Amino acid sequence: MNILRNKFYRTIMGAVTIAASMLGLSSCGAINDDLPPCPEGVALRFVFDYNMEFANAFPSQVDCLTLLVYDADGNYITTRTETTQVLADENWRMVIDLPAGKSYHFVAYGGLECPKSTFGFVNTPASGSTLQQLQVSMDAECIDADPGKELHPLFYGDLDMTVPAGALDYTAGTVYMMRDTNTLRILLQNVDGTPCNAEDFVFKITDNNTLFNYDNSVIATPSGITYSPYVTGQAGAGLTEDGDDALLAYAEFSLSRLTEHSGARLTISNAVSGEPVLSIPLVNYLLLLRSQQFATMGDQEFLDREHRWNMILFLEQGRWIDTRIVINDWIVRINHADL
């Protein structure tokens, strides 16, 4: 009896499945010209998990979105934007009607359409433009600004996909994104416990990373950029063994994408005498943070996944003790031969 019952159940369920499929097919013009045509195009999900947590942070970090659509030959087709709260919904998809049977290239930017955006298109994509002409640049008022500007987060992602002919619904795709902006907080501490004041120092970072190509690679410009901190001050770290407040100087920078061969350099000098306190290759030092857990991760991947950096530099009589540094809570012993 159980065998007969199972056969009967499978027969009934098979008939239900076929009926449901036929009902779905008949809901659009795939088999009936009197019905509306089946939807053609894409339903795109956006994911930002290219971070050190390896978790999707798109809903919490991206507050405006720009999507550019190009054909298989790189010719511009259209632009879609989204600036509402739907971006915070994990289940949200951007739906775009596109002809089926063709391939497309999508380029997505997070952060361009926001009121506080600090990056923009060099030339706004329009009819007749191509993918190879696409460039994004830091706003002019942010370049060499002193005090520095706090950059609005910038994200990039792209996707190649085909909308198959005869599809009965929108074709699903996922655009994986990465973050192009960083925050770097510098702390200066005197080893003898005496207070350290940010007003006694001038903090600068030089780099050449204000212009991005269509593939998110950094294009060098003739002048590069000198970053100044957008905020400086003094912070307490608690009482020393002598009962005094341990006061540290801090300076916080907002930086564009860091690349492994950029030559970015951090310099700190005495505000009164102008004498150098330190001058170090910034990227080389940041890469010292990479622990054994991420030993197989490439340099550029590590720089792109991490975007919050903290460095504690120890001073003695106004000069950097260059054998010790703390980066993101990791104490690093310096081997100059590696730098």
Percent of the chain with pLDDT over 90: 73
Q: Per the omega criterion (within 30 degrees of 0), is the bond before 147 cis?
A: yes
**Global pTM value:** 0.86
Nearest C-alpha neighbor of 302 from the set 49, 51, 47: 51
Is residue 268 within 8 Å of 277, Cβ to Cβ?
A: yes
Give the CA angle between residues 219, 225, 229 to the nearest 5°: 135
Confidence of residue 289 (pLDDT cuts 50, 70, 90): confident
Strands 76-82 and 201-207: unpaired
Cβ-based neighbour number of residue 111 at 10 Å: 26
Q: Which positions ≥6 away from 238 have C-beta within 8 Å?
A: 245, 246
How high is the pLDDT of residue 288? 86
Confidence of residue 191 (pLDDT cuts 50, 70, 90): confident
How high is the pLDDT of residue 32? 53
Q: Which positions ≥6 away from 216 have C-beta within 8 Å?
A: 156, 158, 178, 180, 257
Cα separations in angstroms, 172 against 43, 52, 96, 167, 287: 5, 27, 11, 11, 37
pLDDT higher than 60, residue 65:
yes
Task: For residue 64, count CB atoms less than 10 angstroms from its CB and return exposed for 0-12, middle for 13-18, buried for 19 or more.
Answer: buried
According to DSSP, the residues that pair with 70 across neighbouring strands are 76, 105
Confidence of residue 338 (pLDDT cuts 50, 70, 90): very low
How high is the pLDDT of residue 30? 53
How high is the pLDDT of residue 4? 42
pLDDT higher than 60, residue 3:
no
Q: Which helix (H) or strand (E) holds 313?
A: strand 308-316
Residues 5-22, mean pLDDT to the nearest whole number: 41
Highest mean pLDDT among 11-15, 139-143, 164-168: 139-143
DSSP conformational letter for 23: H
CA 22 to chain centre: 44
DSSP letter string, 159-205 = EEEEE-TT-SSPEEEEEEEEE--EEEEEEEEETT-----GGGEEEEE
Tens digit of each residue's pLDDT (9 = 90 or more) over 214-265 = 999 999 999 999 999 999 999 987 655 555 677 999 999 999 999 999 999 9
Q: Which positions ≥6 away from 217 have C-beta within 8 Å?
A: none
Nearest C-alpha neighbor of 314 from the set 263, 268, 274: 268
Rounded CA separation 50/178 (Å): 6
